[in-house]
Structure 1
Amino acid sequence: MVTRKLAAVAAALLTGTLSLTACSTGSSGGGSSDPGDSQLNKVLKAGELRVAVLPDFPPWAVQKADGSFEGYEIDIAHELADSLGVKLKLVSTDGDSRLPMLQSNRVDVNVSAWTSTNERAQTAGFTIPYDAHGAGVLFKKGADITSYQDLAGKSVSVARGSTNDTILTNDFPSAKPVRFDAISDVISAVKTGKVDAALESSYTVAQAAKSDPELEAISNPPLDPQLVSMGVLPGDQVWINYLNNFIRNLIASGEDNKLHEKWLGEPLASIVSVQGNAA
């Protein structure tokens, strides 16, 4: 596990012994670059870390019938809480609720497969990436789909407001989007025949195809690979600095790669793993 010595780094940040690598001004609903006002200080004082996670995005994160969570990002959230020496509270979110949950102070950080696009970075604060993934296509066996181009004219389910929604809209204008709030509904729509295909994370569709003999996923390389980062309020550079430090150590220790292989079945992308090697 990532060592609890990171908690000492947090204390150093709060006393100003570590300099900020960058300063950003606050915005409406934003955080603070003042160590005393930072979410990091609030987490340490409260003794609890509130992490927004997706409840229906296996193998990244899923909420089981007993209410508990499991998955790649759930393990990362546990590592993060352990590094701070605080208790962990997992809070369910969806694509549209990530930023509002931060702004209303219901969570301290998002570890929710949030791709750090330039558009999103205009309103949210993002860390360095801890993973990268692209989109895949899921469909029923026997469907007239062998390549991404075959989505033309077909009904395709996506999570509302997600990067996959953007990919479908921009790259496949003749496809017919069917939008759902929950990722589980996106996948279910294919199983029940409501849509011809689903566009979701390549890892998610691969797992769905593996677990259901009636489903199949396009085997081509993922569409539009993007970086995945933790998301916080903009302007809270102290909190972002700590999270960046945590992620670098998670990668450098090999723990991130270990968790990635455990849940997603393959090593971290080199574009992510190089961060830890350079740390």
Structure 2
Amino acid sequence: MKIRRKTGLSLLALTLAVVPLTLTACTADGGGSSAAAGASTSNTLQQVIKRGTLRVAVLPDFPPSSVKQPDGKIVGYEPDIAAALAKSLGVTLDLVSIDGTARLSVMQSKRADVNISSYTATNQRAQQVAFTIPYKAQGAGVLFRKSNPITSLKDLDGKTVAVARGSTNDTIITNNFPKAKPVRFDNIADALQALKSGKTDAAMEESTTVKDITKKNPDLATLNIPPIDPDLISMGVLPDQQIWLNYLNNFIRNLIASGQDAQLYQKWFHEDLPAIITNQP
């Protein structure tokens, strides 16, 4: 009997010991849920809404996609998209001027929430950046001085060609035109200035930008050819921001479906939005 009583007490003690553990586990789970909630509110989407400001990285020297005016204001197709994005979130817009080499670092340093900077979604870049669905497509064009004409892509053999360092155009001229001599600059403006001043024979840049430049510079011309190696252009964010990426994809789908993307593209490029964008599933 004594043994049974001892066993019963032991079982009672064990049962009482389990109850607090179970209650503790419930409390821990509740704390875990709070922690999870805290983590979810720390994502970029919630940070932007709480801050009341959307910080968008844009290029200052890439007309008509984006260009800084003499008064310091940045205007163009992509700033207009950025403004529409800010409006959808109910926040104010802060445009952050960058060059092409700073797209990733500006996000890593928390100076920008998203890149809307004619960011070509290459497989190599996608190893470090999360890309949205595309909102436009673009290819390369060749720019040259009329006093030193280029009549075909074959003429690039042996010619010096200015490009922005690390850009898609840098890759195109290096891989597709091995006999050309790429001259790399830190930004688009410096590359174009090198051509204008006679330091290079040609420049390679996005085809619509090239057309825009020839309209404003009568001494320059471009080849009348289809865009070289067209690519898809997406917004870029840090790779661990899935909630933010989901929102941006949703925004772009609605931008395209509503016709607003096509309207903005027509406004700045004076041509139709490429069919590869409007026909996205």
TM-score tier, shorter chain, comes to 0.7 to 0.9
User: TM-score, length-normalised on structure 1?
Assistant: 0.85
Counterpart of 1:85 in structure 2: which amino acid? Answer: G
Q: Which moved more, 1:207-216 or 1:42-51?
A: 207-216
Instruction: Percent identity, please.
Output: 59
Q: Residue 44 of structure 1 aligns with which residue?
A: 49
- Structure 1: which 4+ aligned runs deviate by more than 3 Å? none
Q: How does 1:107-256 map to 2 (within 5 A)?
A: 107-256=112-261
Counterpart of 1:230 in structure 2: which amino acid? Answer: M
Question: 1:35 is matched with which residue: 35, 40, 44?
Answer: 40
Structure 1 SS opposite 2:175? helix
| Deviation, structure 1 residue 177 | 1.0
Alpha-carbon displacement from aligned partner over 1:165-222 (angstroms, at most 9, x marks no partner): 0111111111111111121111111111111000000011111111111111011111
Number of residue pairs matched by the alignment: 243
Q: Residue 57 of structure 1 aligns with which residue?
A: 62
Kept in 2: contact 1:144–1:150 (CA 8 A) = no
| Deviation, structure 1 residue 142 | 3.9
Alpha-carbon displacement from aligned partner over 1:77-118 (angstroms, at most 9, x marks no partner): 100000000010000111110001111111000000000001
Counterpart of 2:210 in structure 1: which amino acid? Answer: V
Larger radius of gyration: 2
Structure 1 SS opposite 2:101? coil
Structure 1 gaps, min length 5: 1-33
Structure 2 gaps, min length 5: 1-38
More helix per residue: 1 or 2? 2
| Higher relative contact order, structure no. (Cα contacts within 8 Å, ≥ 6 residues apart) | 1
Alpha-carbon displacement from aligned partner over 1:6-36 (angstroms, at most 9, x marks no partner): xxxxxxxxxxxxxxxxxxxxxxxxxxxx632
Q: Residue 74 of structure 1 aligns with which residue?
A: 79
Q: Which moved more, 1:47-56 or 1:141-150?
A: 141-150
Counterpart of 1:88 in structure 2: which amino acid? Answer: L
Counterpart of 1:217 in structure 2: which amino acid? Answer: T
| Deviation, structure 1 residue 144 | 4.1
Q: Residue 89 of structure 2 aligns with which residue?
A: 84
Alpha-carbon distance in 1 for matches of 2:154, 2:106: 37
Structure 2 SS opposite 1:158? strand
Counterpart of 1:146 in structure 2: which amino acid? Answer: T
Alpha-carbon distance in 2 for matches of 1:217, 1:144: 9
| Deviation, structure 1 residue 140 | 0.8
Alpha-carbon distance in 2 for matches of 1:47, 1:142: 52
Confirm whether residue 260 of structure 1 aligns to residue 265 of structure 2.
yes
Counterpart of 1:260 in structure 2: which amino acid? Answer: Y
